[in-house]
């Protein structure tokens, strides 16, 4: 079995993007060139690698096997090239980031211009989804998470800490009143999380038991949750790093901070065991650690965020 690494790289991008034409546009090459690369791989493997339909492409069992091994081969090639070239080698290639929708909007998106300025040969794909994805199956290089990681196949680096607070919009408070005590929340419209039930236990720092939120409204998406609060639907518990820009502009108001737990929680960059040493992945993790540290001192673009700090 013999094939070119560039053909493997094209195959991996077709698998990620879902169409030959998307991969061709990304590389600025004719679709026919992508087709020939795929044909060469199928000839070398002696098997069909993709099902082609009017709705797009999907991997065959053989294609899925090749993709898993191929990604490791591409990673090994990149690591070898970096070791051979040493410091002269600039991080390059695609890095796929898995992150919640709200953190993608508040942290990742505004940080990308500076990342590209520092590493112009990097390419970032952001998968904004609140679910805990299967990193190997979904091809995610770095997942930004606040949950603890318990897996021998994953490596987690703590890059910062964050906290959560109750928030509402001024319009909602003007119409419904501002709660002064936790007991006042029983008469308010509370918004909960339909996917992660532990998020609906709002811990108290002035009582032994927290508030179990039933929620008149539920959502499984952090960005939608933020939008609901901003538009005056009710009260929700949000990450301070997400809410901070809107507090500064007056769109959100923090509530009951003396009563509810605002203990800082770790923010992790999670990577697959076999990929965390790749130069492109190390560069991104180190950059976001530095970005969070700088933001804790000077504030995010158009905001100040005192509740976010880097942990070495």
Residue 305: its pLDDT value, please? 39
> Mean pLDDT: which of 15-19, 52-56, 82-86, 222-226 is highest?
222-226
Domains and CATH numbers, the chain: 5-72 (1.10.10.10), 90-157+265-298 (3.40.190.10), 164-255 (3.40.190.10)
Q: State the average pLDDT over residues 218-235.
A: 93
pTM exceeds 0.85? no
CA–CA separation, 311 vs 157, rounded Å?
A: 10
Q: Give the tens place of pLDDT for each residue, 87-124.
A: 546 888 889 899 988 889 888 998 999 999 999 999 99
Residue 308: its pLDDT value, please? 42
User: Residue 282 pLDDT > 80, yes or no?
Assistant: yes
Query: Average per-residue pLDDT in the chain?
Result: 84
Residue 86: its pLDDT value, please? 55
Q: What angle do CA 70, 33, 16 make, to 5 degrees?
A: 40
pLDDT category at 85 given cuts 50, 70, 90 is low
Q: State the average pLDDT over residues 152-165.
A: 86
- % of the chain exceeding 70 in pLDDT: 88
> Mean pLDDT: which of 70-74, 135-139, 163-167, 298-302 is highest?
163-167
User: Residue 68 pLDDT > 90, yes or no?
Assistant: no
pLDDT category at 297 given cuts 50, 70, 90 is low
pLDDT category at 169 given cuts 50, 70, 90 is very high
Q: State the average pLDDT over residues 124-141.
A: 81
Greater model confidence, 177 or 239: 177
CA–CA separation, 107 vs 301, rounded Å?
A: 10
User: Residue 55 pLDDT > 90, yes or no?
Assistant: no
Q: Give the tens place of pLDDT for each residue, 179-215.
A: 999 999 999 999 998 877 778 888 887 666 788 888 7
pLDDT category at 287 given cuts 50, 70, 90 is very high
Residue 275: its pLDDT value, please? 77
pLDDT category at 244 given cuts 50, 70, 90 is confident
Residue 302: its pLDDT value, please? 43
């Amino acid at each position: 079995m013999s094939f070119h690494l560039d053909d493997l790289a094209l195959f991996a991008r077709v698998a990620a993007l879902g169409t030959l034409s998307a991969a061709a546009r990304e590389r600025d090459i004719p679709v026919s060139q992508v087709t020939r690369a795929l044909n060469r791989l199928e000839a070398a493997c002696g098997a069909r690698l993709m099902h082609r339909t009017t709705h797009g492409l999907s991997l065959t069992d053989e294609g899925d096997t090749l993709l898993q091994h191929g990604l490791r081969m591409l990673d090994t090639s990149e690591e070898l090239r970096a070791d051979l070239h040493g410091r002269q080698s600039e991080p390059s290639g695609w890095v796929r980031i898995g992150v919640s929708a709200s953190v993608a909007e508040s942290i990742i998106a505004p940080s990308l211009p500076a990342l590209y300025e520092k590493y112009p040969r990097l390419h970032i794909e952001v998968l904004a989804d609140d679910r805990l994805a299967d990193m190997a199956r979904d091809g995610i290089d770095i997942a930004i998470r606040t949950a603890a990681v318990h897996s021998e196949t994953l490596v987690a680096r703590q890059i910062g800490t964050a906290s959560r607070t109750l928030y509402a919009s001024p319009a909602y408070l003007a119409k419904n009143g501002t709660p002064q005590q936790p007991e006042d929340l029983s008469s308010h419209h509370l918004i909960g999380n339909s996917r992660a039930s532990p998020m609906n236990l709002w811990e108290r720092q002035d009582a032994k038991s927290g508030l179990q939120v039933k929620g008149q409204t539920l959502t499984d998406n952090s960005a939608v949750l933020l939008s609901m609060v901003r538009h005056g639907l009710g009260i929700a518990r949000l990450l301070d790093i997400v809410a901070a820009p809107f507090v500064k502009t007056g769109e959100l108001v923090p509530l009951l901070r003396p009563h509810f737990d605002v203990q800082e929680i770790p923010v992790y960059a999670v990577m697959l065991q076999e990929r965390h040493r790749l130069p492109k992945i190390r560069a991104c993790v180190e950059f976001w650690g530095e970005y969070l540290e700088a933001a804790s001192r000077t504030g995010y673009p158009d905001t100040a965020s005192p509740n976010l700090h880097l942990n070495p």
